[in-house]
Each structure stands twice: as structure tokens, then as C-alpha cells.
Structure 1
Amino acid sequence: MTIDWKKEVEARKDDLMKDLIDLLRINSERDDSKVTVDAPFGPGPRDALKHMLAYGERDGFTVKNVDNYAGHIEYGEGDETLGIFGHMDVVPAGDGWSTDPYEPVVKDGKIFARGSSDDKGPSMAAYYALKIIKDLGVPLSKKVRFVVGSDEESGWGDMDYYFQHEEAPDFGFSPDAEFPIINGEKGNITLTLNFKGTNDGEIHLVSFKSGLRENMVPGTATATLTVADEALSAEIEKSFTNFTTAHPVSGTIKVDGTTLAIEVVGKGAHGAHPEAGMNAGTFLALFLDQFDFTSGAKQFLHTAAAYVHEDFYGEKLGVAYEDAKMGKLTMNAGLFSFTEGSDENYIRTNYRYPQGTDADTLVAGLEKTLGAQGATITRGERNMDPHYVPIDDPLVATLLQVYEDHTGQKGFEQIIGGGTYGRLLKRGVAYGAMFPGYTDTMHQANEFMSLDDLFRATVIYADAIYRLAK
């Protein structure tokens, strides 16, 4: 059967864009302060999940909502099931946007909005690919299930719940990364460095805050200080001006007698690529570490400045590791919090680690390096082991062939630090929707997706689903 997939996508471009824009208007950031039985991750993720499932109902698919944790849109029959995994939740919008992150704007051939590239845009491309197959009545020998998640950017509690209630597909892909394919993903764990909230001496760290999520490079950081006299205030103010001149960050300092409020502005980035950002938290700590803080405040600031700052590969922290296939371990410090007198003071560090090392080794390395700094180490709830599907697996081979046929470019395997739903299945990969050479704006201000890439990905997904399930 010969199908002109590009022609079929062209005929549905306007409908695809309308559906995508309506979906992007939903602020689907996780909000734990508004969690209910009906909204396990807050109202935003629930509303976006239900909105996406409603498209499936409108278009005549078999649809199931699994208690507002996740759901699926299904088509076809067969003994095997091809799974496609997308997610409707997004990371917090953060600061620095030129437009409203939840009022999509189309300009210069791109659509700007939070979630446009991660992952509502790619999910809509995959959904319309499946819709085309249904519209055409293409005969399939396998069932196709589009699984829609709502907690991918946080703890993956959506998929934990979903797989407790539904059978896993046999193989599949997630449209949440890059072409030509992602068939390997590093391990992923968050380790928290904990400190006492003690201060004494002539200068006190009253508070220090930076970051939105552990998988984002913090774009801003703030601190409040109190000092012994106004002469010391003036010294710190002058030093801050010199610091922002000498370093690739900006900021403000406000002095009110012996109280100082400082803000540093860096550059956000995806936590899987910490080297692409300017971590405002570690730069602010680097500035403050030159002054005579004591006790827990000193330990907190010195750890951030001397061990965490620009330690993208865990070398200063004593956990560096490199594998010939998967590459280097990476470390992102995504959340910083210190409040004088509090027992909850921490730096949350997120590691993307290759095969050959493990969580126990990372914890032991941190304890050895940071024990003298007064830090204690605690683990996050989730540890994802490294994941790899061989390049000669029929799933990988088929997807690479589809990519080659539609782009004229040679396919190749890739291994990333980012974590996608592709790793949920033993034979699971990530596949698009970003093409080689794209500008990565995921987890950043002014996130966008190229419309040409959006429609081209839809063509590839339609052919890929057909070849895998025909």
C-alpha cells in the first residue's frame, strides 16, 4: 500500500495547529499545593490530560482515563501492542519570556509557548499521525496505544499508577527527544546535600533561594543578608558590582542599612545539559563565599561555590565517570534553599550517569568529598538505571529506515542524559520530534518549535506507525 504521508499531513495542518494551540493554552505545571483525589498532580496536568483525551473521543478512538493520572487513546487490534508515549505536564515557565508562555504566538515560522517542544507539540504530531492512519482505514496487525502522561517532568508518578492498572505495550517510542533516534538513556537520580541552618558572627545568611526543579538550571537566585555595620554593607555592595562585571551574570543589590537583598540572573537550561546554562545559584554562592560566614551558612555557601559551581561532570564532587558508549556523567544543581534557623537547608543535585556506575557509588563519592563540609546526603524517591536498546533491534532498525527515507540523511544511534518515557519499555526508545541542528529551548524561556519540523515529524510518525503495526 502506497500512501503519500506528506499530502495527508498537509490536508490536516490547520486542524493540527488549532488543536495544539488550544492545548498549549492550558498551564499544566505540577502544583502540589492544589493536589486532590481528582487532580493527583494539581489541576493543570489533569486539565491538559483530559483535554488531550477529549481529542481522541472526538475523533472516534477508544479512550480510557486512568483516574486522571494518565490515559490512553487506542486504535486497531492484534496480539501485540505498539505504544506511543507523550506527556502533557510542563516545567514551570520561569522568568525571561518575551511573550505570555501560555498564550501561544506564531511568528517567524515557529510556535512559542511552554510545552511547544516539550512535549505538547511532538505529542500532537504523533497523535495526528495516528489519526491519519485511522482516517484512511489502513489495515493493521497490531494494536496501537497512544499513552498520555501527566507527571513526566517530576516524579513519573503517573506512569507508576498507570502500569499498576494497565498492561504495558510490547514495544514503542516516545516523541520527546531528537531524530534520528534515542536508543540509549543515562541513569537518573537526584541526591540532596543537606546543611544546618546555623549562623553566627558579623554576617548572617538570612535566606538563599534558587531554582524551580532539579532538572532545570536555575536562571535566578536571591539572598538576604544582615551584617554588623553599614561599612560592611558598602563593602559588599561595591564587591557585587565588580563581581557582575567580571562574570557572565547580571544582578541587583539593594542595601537598607545593615540588611542587603541580592539577586543574580544567569541563564536557564535543561538539567541534562548543565553546561548550556549559567547557574544563578552557584554564581551567587561564589560571590558570597568570599565573605566571613560561619557554621551552616558557611558550609552551604562554600559547598556550592567550591564543589558544585561549574562541576558539570562531577569532578570536584568526586563522582566523575565516563563510559565509552554512553559518555560522561553530568551533574546539575537545580534547587537551593537556606533559611536561618531552619532544619530544611539543601542543594538538590541531579545526576545523569552512564552504565558502569550506580547510585550507591555516587552517594559514597559525595559522602567522602563533602563529609568535612558538614553535608549529609539523602536520595530522591526515584532512581532510573541506564537504558539501551541495541541498534540492530527491529524497532530501532525500522525507525532509522523511516527517518532515512523521509530526510535523505543517514540515521545513527544516540545516547542522551535526558530521561524520556521511551525507557518505560524494555524495547522502548525516543524518536524525534527535534531534527539534527535544532535550537534546544526545552526548559528555557521562550520555548518554541519550528512549524516545518512539527509537520515533518508528523509525516515521519505516520509512516513509522504504519510500518511497525501493519
Structure 2
Amino acid sequence: MTTDWKKEVAARKDDLLSDLEALLRVKSEREDDKATADAPFGPGPRAALEKMLSFGERDGFTVKNVDNYAGHIEFGEGDETLGIFGHMDVVPAGDGWDTDPYEPVIKDNKIYARGSSDDKGPSIAAYYGMKIIKELGLPLSKKVRFVVGSDEESGWGDMDYYFQHEEKPDFGFSPDAEFPIINGEKGNISLLAHFSSSNEGSYTLQSFKSGLRPNMVPGSATAKVTLPAASDFAEFEVALNAFTDEHPVTAKATQADATVTVELVGKSAHGAHPSAGINAGTFLALFLDHFDFAGGAKSFLHVAGAYMHEDFDGKKLGVAYNDEKMGELTMNASLFHFEDGAKEATINLNFRYPQGTTAENLEAGLEESIGSYGVTTTREPHHMLPHYVPVDDPLVATLLSVYEDHTGQKGYEQIIGGGTFGRLLERGVAYGAMFPGYTDTMHQANEFMDLDDLFNSAVIFADAIYRLAK
């Protein structure tokens, strides 16, 4: 008997949407200042993890919470385990929302909230795929385990801890990208550029801050500058207005005697696609670089404005690389921090790099291009190497076949700069939940997921899980 997956999902639409809305109301941003032994990434990620696991308990699955780092929802029997990897943490909401980012709103057949497309919506769709199979009592020859993470957007400390206590599934997928499939992911590393925080010019850079996470293009930036004299403010403001007239940013300056606070707004985007954003940090540095700063402040502003600004492929920094299969390296200048008189200033450079180059090559390129400005670099600890599962692997072939059967569209392999939990397994990929042609709002204001895509992905996930585990 053939299962009508679309009918089964349709019968559960209201329940699926209700569960998703409950998850979206949890503000699951990582908050290190509120972390405890019982909430290693802060109260929000823990609450969202517990909420997701509670669905599994309600629906009669075997559920395990691994010390509030991660957990899993499991059913089935067999010697092999199919793993599905989702995450409940989200990047900070940031500014620019038309609605409350943690009160889901449905309009124009889309659900708006932080996490709706990354990754609470896709996770719920995959969970309901499991739920349908269980409720129908369909026979399986493998275990199916949904692993729920709570630190995917930061350092993957959740999975490091989880796999110290639990065995890895044999193969699987993460519903945290797009269809038809993502079977290759570029390497991912952040290098920290270190500068002196000295000031020696007639202008003084008191502070410069921009960015929320390494995997986000900074959507806003703020600098506090002391002018040579309070009377110089008029000329400074004229220059700022001319700058915003010529560039796709907005800005305002407020004066307190000779000190000026400049706030500049660009557009946030996913760090894997830096060209899709408008980097407020590099634009503000580009503007300020025209004034009489000197010392470490000058190096900080000049390197950010001349070498990092719109250097999406790393050519200015001397690290550009292209691989025939995996494509080009990308660079996102993500976190900027300068405080006058502090020990040092830093800029975080997040690289997504293809096979064929290395972290050592990136460090060498930076040394050659910007080392003369007194810049040194160090590696951030979270480093992911390039990952690829061949298109003829049975896992990839099966998932593509399911996609083709339900969409009527030809499946094809894809390689991305984003990093998903699919790469946790040697035979792991990302699969859905966004369909070709979708509007990417991940890590942006007004993030949404189309409801038709949500329900259609649940149909595909249900069939895919069953074919892989039956």
C-alpha cells in the first residue's frame, strides 16, 4: 500500500503550525553572560531545546536530554541509525523588524519570526515526517534519531559535548539549507586580525563597534570620534551626508562638544553570502579613513576600509581561491571592536573556503597584504574543513529521487559556503527545507518561511526518512 504523504501532512497542518509557533516564541539567542552549568549557552537555547524534546515525549518517542547541551528523539529498531540534525538556537534578532521577532505573525501565507527558516521551521517539518511514520506504524529496519542542537549558530559546543556522550549515527541529513540537496560544504574558519588601539592624530577614535556574530554581515555600526574642535562638527556632518548620498547606507551623527557619535546602518545577511549584505562596519571605516587619524586607529580604519570593504572573494587581502567543483572562497568582515587605550583592537574575518587551499594559506596571505600595518592574526577555535559526499552515494541518490518524485523537477548536487550539521557525519548532507527560487531571509530582519514550503518540505521529509530507514 502506498502512503499518501501529502494527505498525512495535511491532516496535521494545524498541529505542526501550533508546535512551530510555540518554538518561535522562545528567544533562543546564545547569552554567555547568563550561562550556567544547567544552561551552558544561556536560558533561551535551553528552553527551546526542552520545548522541542517535550514534543517527542508527548508523542511517545524515546527522548534523551544530554545535560541541556543537546538531545535526541528516537524510534525504530536496527543495527544502523539514520540521523537527522536540527538546531533550536538562533542568531540575534538585530534591528529593522516590522514585527516582534519572537511573536510569530502569519501574513501573505508566510510565518515571520526569528528562526522561522533557520532552523525551527525546517526542524519541525522533519520532526513531523518522523511523527507520521510512527503514527502510521510503518515498518523500519533502522533506528531514526532526530538530534536537537542548541549552539549551531555559534561554536557547535552542543555537538562537541553530545558526541562525547552519544554515538554518531551512521548516515543522515540536516534540514537546514535547501533542496534539491547540499552534498558539499566549504571549509569555515574565522581569523582574528589584531591591531594596536593607539591614537596619534588630530582626530581620536574613542570606540568603534559593529557586528553580532561571525556568521552575520554587520547591519549596523557605531563609532565615537573626538574632533580637533567642536566647531569642526559642521564640516564632519556635511562629509557624512555626502557619503551617504553616494553609498547604499544611512547614517546620523550626534554632537557632544568635540565628541561625535556616528551610527551607520547597512543591511545584515548570512555570512556565507557576504555580497548579499551591506557591511555597515566596512562602510563606516571607509568614511572615517578620510580624516586625520593616526597610530593604531588609522591602521584599523584603513585596513577595514581599503582591504576588507567589499572584498567578498579575498582578492584585496591576497587570499582569493577558486576550485572547479566547490567554487570561490568568500570573506565576511563580521565583528569590529576598538576602544581607545585598550590592550588591542580586533576585526573578525570569517572565511568560507573550498578544497585546495588551507587555513595556513589564509594566514600567509593576510600577513603579506596587511602585516605592514602592524596587524597580526590568530585563529578562532571553531574550524570546519571542506566536506563532500559524492553524488553517487546511495544517501544522496535516494534523497534526490525523493525530491524529484514530489516536485517533478530534476535533482542536482550543490556545494555551499554555509556550514550545517550535515557535515557532522562522513555520510552526511543538508536537505531542504528551502526550495529553488526561495527568498533568503536567514540571519536578516523580517525572517520568514513560506507556509507552502513548510508543509511541502514535511511531505518530502516523511517520504525520505521512510525510504532511508524502511
Map residues 366-385 of structure 1 onto 2, 5 A cutoff: 366-385=366-385
Aligned to 1:463: 463
Aligned to 1:217: 217
| Percent pairwise identity | 74
Aligned to 2:9: 9
List runs of 5+ in structure 2 lacking aligned partners. none
Deviation at 1:277, TM superposition (A): 0.5
Aligned to 1:85: 85
Aligned to 1:405: 405
Map residues 132-143 of structure 1 onto 2, 5 A cutoff: 132-143=132-143
8 Å CA contact retained: 2:313, 2:331 = yes
TM-score between both structures, scaled by the size of structure 1: 0.99
1:235 matched to 2:230:
no
Aligned to 1:454: 454
Secondary structure of 2:381's aligned partner: strand
- Post-superposition CA distance 1:361-393 (Å, at most 9, x none): 111111111111111101000110000000000
List runs of 5+ in structure 1 lacking aligned partners. none
1:284 matched to 2:284:
yes
Q: Which residue identity lines up with residue 370 of structure 1 in the other structure?
A: I
Aligned to 2:327: 327
CA-based RMSD: 0.6
Aligned to 2:416: 416
Aligned to 1:164: 164
Deviation at 1:255, TM superposition (A): 2.0
8 Å CA contact retained: 1:237, 1:255 = no
Map residues 57-76 of structure 1 onto 2, 5 A cutoff: 57-76=57-76
Map residues 297-312 of structure 1 onto 2, 5 A cutoff: 297-312=297-312
Structure 1 distance, partners of 2:23, 2:201, is 53
Aligned to 1:360: 360
TM-score between both structures, scaled by the size of structure 2: 0.99
Q: Which residue identity lines up with residue 425 of structure 1 in the other structure?
A: L
Deviation at 1:227, TM superposition (A): 1.5
Secondary structure of 1:36's aligned partner: coil
Aligned to 2:396: 396
Structure 2 distance, partners of 1:201, 1:44, is 44
8 Å CA contact retained: 1:359, 1:383 = no
Structure 1 distance, partners of 2:346, 2:233, is 26
- Post-superposition CA distance 1:72-123 (Å, at most 9, x none): 0001000000000000000000000000000000010000000000000000
Secondary structure of 1:381's aligned partner: coil
Structure 1 distance, partners of 2:367, 2:158, is 32
Map residues 115-264 of structure 1 onto 2, 5 A cutoff: 115-264=115-264
8 Å CA contact retained: 1:25, 1:103 = yes
Deviation at 1:231, TM superposition (A): 3.5
Structure 2 distance, partners of 1:256, 1:419, is 44
8 Å CA contact retained: 1:331, 1:349 = yes
Structure 1 distance, partners of 2:334, 2:414, is 25
Secondary structure of 2:409's aligned partner: coil
Secondary structure of 1:14's aligned partner: helix
Runs of 4+ in structure 1 over 6 Å off: none
Q: Which residue identity lines up with residue 347 of structure 1 in the other structure?
A: I
Deviation at 1:232, TM superposition (A): 2.5
8 Å CA contact retained: 2:62, 2:75 = yes
Q: Which residue identity lines up with residue 113 of structure 1 in the other structure?
A: A
Q: Which residue identity lines up with residue 341 of structure 1 in the other structure?
A: G
Structure 2 distance, partners of 1:188, 1:230, is 45
- Post-superposition CA distance 1:5-44 (Å, at most 9, x none): 0000000000000000001000000000011000000000
Structure 2 distance, partners of 1:440, 1:356, is 28
8 Å CA contact retained: 1:202, 1:228 = yes
8 Å CA contact retained: 1:53, 1:65 = yes
8 Å CA contact retained: 1:323, 1:354 = yes
Secondary structure of 1:40's aligned partner: coil
Q: How many corresponding residue pairs? A: 470
Aligned to 1:110: 110
Structure 1 distance, partners of 2:160, 2:238, is 52
8 Å CA contact retained: 2:201, 2:295 = no
Q: Which residue identity lines up with residue 148 of structure 2 in the other structure?
A: V
Aligned to 1:270: 270
Q: Which residue identity lines up with residue 299 of structure 1 in the other structure?
A: S
8 Å CA contact retained: 2:267, 2:278 = yes
